[in-house]
Structure 1
Amino acid sequence: MTTNQDQRRPRIGVIPGDPSGIGPELIARLIVHPGVRERAEIVLIGDRVVLELGMAQAGQTFELVPFEPQGRRDEPVLAGLGWFETSTIAPEAIEIAKATERSGASVLATLNLALDLARDGDIDAIVFGPFNKAAMHLAGLKFADELHHMGDRLGVTEYLSELNTLDGLWTSRVTSHIALRDVADAITEEGVAEAVNLIDRTLRRSGVSRPRIAVAALNPHAGDGGNFGREEIDVLTPAVEKLADQQMSISGPWPSDTVFLKAKAGEIDAVVTMYHDQGQIALKLLGFDRGVTVQGGMPFPVATPAHGTAFDIAGQGRADVGATVAAFKVACDLVENWN
């Protein structure tokens, strides 16, 4: 029997990101992009001045109709587009193409409100325009990244890690925002298992019934039998074998300079990488304008374009909306398959 729950479209909370970057322009382009408002109900969360700035930069207009949260999802958003008004930054405080404390504070305030709305059941997922970590740290961000700020605000105790996806290929990381010199010491069997389990669970939530996962090596030529390091022998191979014993479709460790060729050929669904740039470089070369970051381990989907605030083109009306549209679609897919 079809229920109202079955017929309900996802409700996506959208925040513009750093007012000084390309986020406001991207969100304005997203709202008018063909098919977006048909796919999901949208709740914009932000200041009028920031959203209208984005419209002006994008050369687009749409009406900002107030949205009143009810703590429930049984009332549809009128016309599929609502606006949860905030007041986080004065017009004169917005400095285009600069990392400022005031823009960082605006980001944190709108992000926190979006998290509260998702926690309370008013929205199903969050999509945000690019953040600038330097600005957020100027404004008091106490964590290395926004993901761990989100987890702290929501009291999440599970493993958290950014995931990246492009055209159906996913990556996770055993280590993320740490110095490269610290990576080898931070790689453990437990860390590998956490990264693998997170991406396996997320892929299943995106609709992949049995994800095929490859683990990347840390060292050149996968350590060359121990000549170039022992992490593959002492940590990675035992971790992969234990996960395979749990009936996962997993292989590796594969040399990191060839594992993405397997991914490109469609032989695997996901690559578990050892450090931040190992996977990011590959995905961004495969399609910078389509890459998406998913905040892995959150209790609801959170997605954003994988690129940054692009201060070099901010305010010029030249931002490519491709990755933002892709983030929106990933968030919708995750909502529809979450349970």
Structure 2
Amino acid sequence: MQPFIGIVQGDACGIGPELMSKLLQKLTAAERNRALIISDQRIMTAGNAVTGQETHCKRLNEPTEIDPECGQPQLLDIRCLDPANIVPGTVSVDAGCAVLKTFGLAIDLAQSGVIEGICFMPFNKAAMHLAGIGVADELTWAKKRLGVTGRASEFNVIDGMWNARVTSHIPLKDVAETLNIDGIVDAIVLANQTLTRAGYDNPRIAVAALNPHAGDGGAIGTEEIEIIAPAVEKAKLQSIKVDGPFPSDTLYLKVRDGQFDCAVSMYHDQGQIAIKLLGFDQGVSVLAGLPVPIATPAHGTAFDIVGTNSANVNAALNAFRMVSAMAQGRNLAPLDRA
């Protein structure tokens, strides 16, 4: 059976309202009838006004009214943001507060077993910080709210190509000194666990080097010799199918060509640039290491095209289907490029 998935409105100053409207139109009837939209109804109405489309939803006032078996899409109307009080295409503390309220409620509903996964429309980190998120990003916030103490990380996925990270939202100048054997092993283990949860049998993982040409035998950096290669060997002791380090300028060609299922990058943009070039409008970000599957389009709030009805919905659709697949422990079919 199609799992019961929560869809969160995202930052209302961006393309989230438009994407929600388009997403509901793109879902199959079976998917749509097992969807719970967690949003202010006024934001939904604003999104429908942009797209000129509307999907009828059963409106709910309280979480106690949720019925996963009702046979139609449901809108949990959270009165958290009046569109008249925000300026589209700008960073807004009110929009940030609405994100924290709706996303927090979705996490609570997932933790209590009401919904089986969460797909959220793009957030704006600046708005969330103005709203008082108090941590680096939504992953860290979700991890804290769920009481997770182990490693969690953001993965990016496009057409069956997965990218994991050892470090994420830190300055580039701090990456080399942050790397250590155990941290890399933890990232490899999480990649293996996440892909296994997504339905991969014995996933094949490739680990990126840090330096150009993988350090050229130590001539232009020793991290590969002293840290990364030992981490790969240590991870192999856990019966993980992992190899590396590989020079990052060719690593993603190996993933693209099907030699590996997942790359583990040493820092944020090392993998992000490659993955986004391979399919910017299709990519999905997965919040890995949490007890509930959570995913979002890999692109951002796109303030520059708000209100133009030009947002591509495919990444949102892929994110919804990724969450559904992970909730069922199955591998997702090739991502939608229609």
* TM-score band w.r.t. shorter chain: over 0.9
How many Å separate the matches in 2 of 1:189 and 1:227?
Answer: 21
Using the TM superposition, give the Cα deviation of residue 79 of structure 1 relative to its aligned residue in structure 2, in angstroms: 2.7
User: Match for residue 304 of structure 2?
Assistant: 312
Residue among 110, 115, 126 paired with 2:118: 126
Amino acid at match of 2:243: S
User: Match for residue 205 of structure 1?
Assistant: 197
CA 1:180–1:206 in 2, change beyond 3 Å: closer, same or farther?
A: same
3-state SS of paired residue (1:162): strand
Amino acid at match of 1:60: Q
User: Match for residue 247 of structure 2?
Assistant: 255
Amino acid at match of 1:9: Q
How many Å separate the matches in 1 of 2:165 and 2:142?
Answer: 18
TM-score by length of 1: 0.94
Using the TM superposition, give the Cα deviation of residue 69 of structure 1 relative to its aligned residue in structure 2, in angstroms: 3.8
User: Match for residue 64 of structure 1?
Assistant: 57
Alignment of 1:208-287 (within 5 A): 208-287=200-279
Amino acid at match of 1:198: L
8 Å CA contact 2:32–2:72 kept in 1: the answer is: no
3-state SS of paired residue (1:294): strand
User: Match for residue 20 of structure 2?
Assistant: 27
How many Å separate the matches in 2 of 1:36 and 1:199?
Answer: 32
User: Match for residue 158 of structure 1?
Assistant: 150
Using the TM superposition, give the Cα deviation of residue 58 of structure 1 relative to its aligned residue in structure 2, in angstroms: 1.6
3-state SS of paired residue (2:303): coil
User: Match for residue 291 of structure 1?
Assistant: 283
Give deviations 1:194-217, integer Å, cap 9, x for gaps.
111111111111111110000000
Amino acid at match of 2:302: A
Is the counterpart of residue 17 in structure 1 residue 10 in structure 2? yes
| Structure 1: 5+ residue stretches without partners | 1-7
8 Å CA contact 2:282–2:318 kept in 1: the answer is: yes
Give deviations 1:48-85, integer Å, cap 9, x for gaps.
1111111111221122313454599xx53423311111
How many Å separate the matches in 2 of 1:83 and 1:39?
Answer: 11
How many Å separate the matches in 2 of 1:209 and 1:197?
Answer: 14
3-state SS of paired residue (1:79): coil
CA 1:34–1:107 in 2, change beyond 3 Å: closer, same or farther?
A: closer
CA 1:325–1:36 in 2, change beyond 3 Å: closer, same or farther?
A: farther
CA 1:43–1:280 in 2, change beyond 3 Å: closer, same or farther?
A: same
8 Å CA contact 2:43–2:82 kept in 1: the answer is: no
User: Match for residue 113 of structure 1?
Assistant: 105
How many Å separate the matches in 2 of 1:294 and 1:71?
Answer: 29
User: Match for residue 77 of structure 2?
Assistant: 85
8 Å CA contact 1:12–1:332 kept in 2: the answer is: yes
Residue among 130, 134, 138 paired with 1:142: 134
User: Match for residue 170 of structure 1?
Assistant: 162
Root mean square deviation, CA, Å? 1.6
User: Match for residue 5 of structure 1?
Assistant: none
User: Match for residue 318 of structure 2?
Assistant: 326
8 Å CA contact 1:216–1:256 kept in 2: the answer is: yes
8 Å CA contact 1:127–1:327 kept in 2: the answer is: yes
CA 1:24–1:36 in 2, change beyond 3 Å: closer, same or farther?
A: farther
User: Match for residue 337 of structure 1?
Assistant: 329
CA 1:71–1:247 in 2, change beyond 3 Å: closer, same or farther?
A: farther
8 Å CA contact 2:41–2:75 kept in 1: the answer is: no
3-state SS of paired residue (2:235): helix
Q: Percent identity?
A: 47
User: Match for residue 3 of structure 1?
Assistant: none
Amino acid at match of 2:28: G
Amino acid at match of 2:36: V
3-state SS of paired residue (2:59): coil
| Structure 2: 5+ residue stretches without partners | 331-338
How many Å separate the matches in 2 of 1:144 and 1:76?
Answer: 33
Amino acid at match of 1:111: F
3-state SS of paired residue (1:80): coil
How many Å separate the matches in 2 of 1:40 and 1:194?
Answer: 38
